A and B are shown apart, each in its own frame.
Chain A
């Protein structure tokens, strides 16, 4: 199975900060990567698919980049509603595998 290593596992940031989360795959997955946001007690929400495509309705401050093994989720200007846990997911091959998550907390 492909291992997805997310970093950092947590971070503290202030409103307005630029935040970057990375995900590294144990083998190449082309651009078959998605990013999800999860708030406490809620289902995950798709933000980015195919590494860099913004899901409809998601604010443009979210962006994704990368291909192969290294991927990045960037929040250009952190908003209060962005404090949550973020997960990457590879859907290049089975079994699909998630990263361990990055919790974004208020500084």
Chain B
């Protein structure tokens, strides 16, 4: 059974870089698309971006100038970096497996708060 787990700091200062890792267990990361989605408190879902196992990426244009998604096949994980964060980036960040048949499964999510 495939499981995903997000990890990283829960508090980031304004203007700094948010960094999260999603560790995949129960399956190889060397297939599928792997994505990040976020949800501000009390609001809806926003797709951040995808990375294919080959390393190719697609990002939401609204975040493209600040976001980088990378993959480490040796560690079976992929990562998100979001630079120059503001309070508007406070959200629960989810990782998920994707690729033509919807996002499934999802990680449990991790709350990242941007505050000084």
Residue of B nearest to A57 (CB): B104
On whether the beta carbons of A87 and B108 are closer than 8 Å, the reply is no
Tell me whether A96 is interfacial, beta carbon within 8 Å.
Answer: yes
Chain B contact residues: helix, strand, loop or mixed: loop
On whether the beta carbons of A100 and B44 are closer than 8 Å, the reply is yes
- State A42–B102 Cα separation when bound (angstroms): 17
Given contacts A46-B104, A49-B101, contact A95 B61 (CB under 8 A): yes
- State A34–B47 Cα separation when bound (angstroms): 14
Residue of A nearest to B49 (CB): A95
Q: Which residues from B are CB-within-8-Å of A36?
A: 45, 102-103
On whether the beta carbons of A44 and B101 are closer than 8 Å, the reply is no
B4: shortest Cβ distance to chain A, in Å?
9
- State A101–B45 Cα separation when bound (angstroms): 9
- State A94–B58 Cα separation when bound (angstroms): 8
- State A42–B105 Cα separation when bound (angstroms): 12
Q: Size range of the interface on A?
A: 20 to 34
Q: Which residues from B are CB-within-8-Å of A89?
A: 45, 47, 102-103
On whether the beta carbons of B58 and A44 are closer than 8 Å, the reply is no
Q: Which residues from B are CB-within-8-Å of A97?
A: 47
Tell me whether A78 is interfacial, beta carbon within 8 Å.
Answer: no
Q: Which residues from B are CB-within-8-Å of A94?
A: 58, 60
Residue of B nearest to A34 (CB): B102
Residue of A nearest to B103 (CB): A46
Cross-chain contact of A46 among B44, B102, B109 (Cβ < 8 A): B102
On whether the beta carbons of A43 and B45 are closer than 8 Å, the reply is no
Q: Which residues from A are CB-within-8-Å of B72?
A: none
On whether the beta carbons of B45 and A87 are closer than 8 Å, the reply is yes
CB within 8 Å of B: which residues of A? 1, 34, 36, 42-46, 48-50, 53, 55, 87, 89, 91, 94-101
CB within 8 Å of A: which residues of B? 44-47, 50, 58-62, 94, 96, 98, 100-104, 106-109
Question: What are 8 A-B residue pairs whose CB atoms fall within 8 Å in the complex?
Answer: A34-B103, A36-B45, A42-B108, A50-B102, A55-B104, A89-B47, A96-B50, A97-B47
